[in-house]
Structure formats: structure tokens, C-alpha cells
Amino acid sequence: MKTPFTTKEKLEEIIGEIPTPFHLYDEKGIRENAKAVYEAFSWNKGFREYFAVKANANPFLINILKECGCGTDCSSRTELMLSNSLGFSGDEIMFSSNDTPAEEFAYANEIGAIINLDDITHIKVLEDTIGHIPSTISCRYNPGGVYEISNGIMDNPGDAKYGMTKKQLFEAYQLLRDKGAKRFGLHAFLVSNTVTNDYYPALASTLFELIVELKEETGICINFVNLSGGVGIPYTPTGTPNDIRVIGEGVRKVYEELLVPAGLGDVSIYTEMGRFMMGPYGALVTTAIREKHTYKEYIGVDACAVNLMRPAMYGAYHHITVMGKENATCDHTYDVTGSLCENNDKFAVDRKLPKIDMGDVLFIHDTGAHGFAMGYNYNGKLKSAEVLLKEDGSFELIRRAETPKDYFATFDCFDIIKDLV
Ligand SMILES: *Cc1c(COP(=O)(O)O)cnc(C)c1O
């Protein structure tokens, strides 16, 4: 069962000021979840969650997480710039990039971010770019093959472009030590959107065994283990959410089994969650504006895939609540579509829903991560507004909708378009 984090009345009040479509975020939910994350890992002195900015780059939301003690995980220059201007400093910023341009290494170094190297060849690029190796440095590991968690959930790191082989990793740390590095991190991201409490403990166990071996073989002690992202959320109404407390305890258990006896009991645990921190606390609010009865039953809404790409891109399920009809029987089968000239622009296919009337407001769940952030401007469509529902029940526009002027802004070199810019 999935229920919206707000009411029909509240949405009507917001829509009175801010027209649909927009993404709405739940401040209370974001804060409670972040607090639970910190409680779950409070046994680890150096713990920090570096929120993956790519999941949602809205500075208002990132600031909320900052107040909860989080840092940021960045994958590009602009994400680094955003973190820097929000007042994150030095080791509060992780730079986990791949195929990294030299100028991004330079900027990350300039603002003192922790650089997480995706490949052994990046050591030379980094050194050539900034003239030295930073004293704190991290490396990304890829074990190859298929990575399977106990209950059959698996992914295929052997096919992934990220990270170094074990041999390269051990070589990289020694090279980095020879070049003056003093503090070392280990990072791995092996499975995406895991709806199980077993992923982090399994990954931690893999990484802890590795750092014990590294210490024995090379004498190098890892200072932090970055479990990265991958902790998932159930998008379907029948899924069971992960319990971050169980996950934190699971990691603690393997920490005490593997690291403490090896004399590595002061290793800090870092996470870089995006989806888990923000996904459930965002929704795309959209209005039904057209209906169509041809070979199928269609409901057209005023949002489209530029506002939420996951269904079009991955066939991802996003639950839909028709506001005010929460308890009505789902006796209609609809495709819920946007207006793009792409047949995959459908928020739902063959979805059982109550009868939808024109003007009904649809609450598309779990868009807080990789929702607005994946937006684009295909078909000349404009990105929507973002609205924050605050803890006290009031609301605030935290990003205005794009206007045609924004869309044409990068054509300012064309005289004929000047009037539009
Ligand atoms: C995408 C990403 C994350 C966040 O992943 P989620 O599954 O959203 O938690 C963290 N770290 C890196 C390097 C990523 O690419």
C-alpha cells in the first residue's frame, strides 16, 4: 500500500498558486530518514553519508541534508561547484567520477574534495594535472563477474565500465603511497536499487576482506570504506522497504568480525546514497487533461517524460494515486501518457486505476531521486517547477518552472532569436 505524503486539499492549495506539473518534496520525510541513517551507523565514529547529487541537485534539498550532517557525492564540475557554493568543504565532498576530464580533477582538487579514482591510469592524469597526488585519495574497485547477494539479487559488475580489477587496485595503492598519499579510501558500487537489507553487509564483507588482505600484502591501511549507492526503495505498492537500522547492524556485524580482529577497528564507513535518501520523498503532481478511447484507453496528463524519464527509459514502475479517489475501486485499465512524440512517453501501461475524470490530480510516487534530475528538453518541452512541502505544512517554490526564455537562452548568438531571449 502506498499513500501520498500529502492531502488532496493541500495539493489544491498549492495548485492554486503553482500550476501543475511540478515535483513536490516532503521535508519531514527527508529529515526523518536522514536521521535514521545516522542512527543506524552511529556505532561507527567516522560515518558520513555523502548524498549523491546526481539523484537530485536542488540546493534547497541538499541544504536540508547538510543540516542532517550529510556531505555530497559529485560526478561533475557543476555538481562540485554547487556543493562548494552551498558551503560544503574539503572532506565533506566526494568526487566519484569516471572518464574524468582533467579540468574536473583540477577543480575537485582546488576545492579540496576527496577524489575517488575510477582507474589506475587516472593516477598519472591527476598527477600531470595538479602537479602532485593529494594526501587523501580513494580508489574504486570492480570485482568483475557476477555479484550475487544471498537471496538471489544480483548484478553484473564484469560488464560495468567502473572501477579497477583487484590487481590494479593493489598496484594503485602502492603507487599512490610512493607518490606521497597518506590516507586511503576504498569504494565500490556493485548492485543498483537493492530492495533487501543484505546488500550493504554483503558488500562490506567483500571490501573488508579485501582491505585486510591489502594490509597483509602491502602494509597499507585503508582509512575509509565507501559503500557508495545501491540501497533501493520499493517502487511497487507491495514491496517491503529496506530497514536502514537492520542494514547498519549488518555492516557492524561484519566490521566486528573482519576488521576489528585485523587491527582495522578505526576504519570509517561512508555511504553515497541517492535514491534511498530522496526517492520516496518526492512526487510528480500532474493533472489529467485529455482522454482518448481508441484501441486502448488513454489518459493524457500535463507532465511528460521530460519531467520523469524512468518509465520511458527503463520501463520503471511508478505508483499513481488519483487524488480524492484513494478508496475507489480500480476498475479501469489505462495507459497514462505525456505529450512527447515518442510512444514510450507513458507513465503507466495497462494500469488498473479508478475512473479518471478530466481535471483529476495524479500523484506519481517516488520521484525524489532520478526524477527531475534526469530531465531534458526534448520536443521543446520545459522543465517543471519544484515545490517543498515544509515540516510546518506550508509550502515553498524551490525552483521555478522553465520559461521559453530559458529554453532559447543558449541561442543568444542568433540574431533572429534575440527577441525571444
Ligand atoms: C548513482 C551513484 C550513487 C547513488 O546511487 P543510488 O542508487 O541513487 O543510491 C552513488 N555513487 C555513485 C558513484 C553513483 O554513480
CB atoms within 10 A of CB 103: 10
Average predicted confidence (pLDDT) for the chain:
97
Q: Is the CB of 54 under 6 A from ligand 1?
A: yes
Q: What pLDDT score does 270 carry?
A: 98
Q: What pLDDT score does 336 carry?
A: 98
What's the gap in Å between 345 CA and the centre of ligand 1?
25
Residue 287 phi/psi, 5-degree rounding, is -110, 140
Strands 332-337 and 154-155: unpaired
Residues catalogued as catalytic:
341
Percent above pLDDT 70 for the chain: 100
The residue to mutate among 186, 194, 227, 275, having the most atoms of ligand 1 within 8 angstroms of its beta carbon, is 275
What's the gap in Å between 100 CA and the centre of ligand 1?
16
What is the arithmetic mean of pLDDT over 13-30? Answer: 98
d(CA 380, CA 363): 24
d(CA 345, CA 365): 17
Q: What pLDDT score does 152 carry?
A: 75
Q: Say if residues 139 and 94 touch (Cβ distance below 8 Å).
A: no
Counting from 1 in the atom list of ligand 1, the atom nearest the Cα of 273 is 9
Q: Is the CB of 52 under 6 A from ligand 1?
A: yes
Q: What pLDDT score does 1 carry?
A: 82
pLDDT band, residue 154 (cuts 50/70/90): confident
Q: Is the CB of 197 under 6 A from ligand 1?
A: no
pLDDT tens for each residue of 51-73: 999 999 999 999 999 999 999 99
Q: Is the CB of 140 under 6 A from ligand 1?
A: no
d(CA 56, CA 8): 25
pLDDT band, residue 377 (cuts 50/70/90): very high
Q: Is the CB of 247 under 6 A from ligand 1?
A: no
pLDDT band, residue 107 (cuts 50/70/90): very high
Cα Dmax for the chain = 71
pLDDT above 90: residue 380: yes
Q: Burial, 355: exposed, middle or buried (Cβ in 10 Å; 0-12, 13-18, 19+)?
A: middle
What's the gap in Å between 227 CA and the centre of ligand 1?
10
d(CA 204, CA 250): 9
pLDDT tens for each residue of 176-208: 999 999 999 999 999 999 999 999 999 999 999
Which triple of cell numbers denotes residue 309?
524519464
CB atoms within 10 A of CB 150: 10
Q: Is the CB of 79 under 6 A from ligand 1?
A: no
Strands 332-337 and 346-353: antiparallel
For helices 102-110 and 77-85, give the axis angle rounded to 10 degrees.
Answer: 10
Q: What is the pTM of this model?
A: 0.97
Counting from 1 in the atom list of ligand 1, the atom nearest the Cα of 230 is 7
Counting from 1 in the atom list of ligand 1, the atom nearest the Cα of 277 is 9
pLDDT band, residue 419 (cuts 50/70/90): confident
pLDDT tens for each residue of 308-355: 999 999 999 999 999 999 999 999 999 999 999 999 999 999 999 999
pLDDT above 90: residue 421: no
Q: Say if residues 318 and 310 touch (Cβ distance below 8 Å).
A: yes
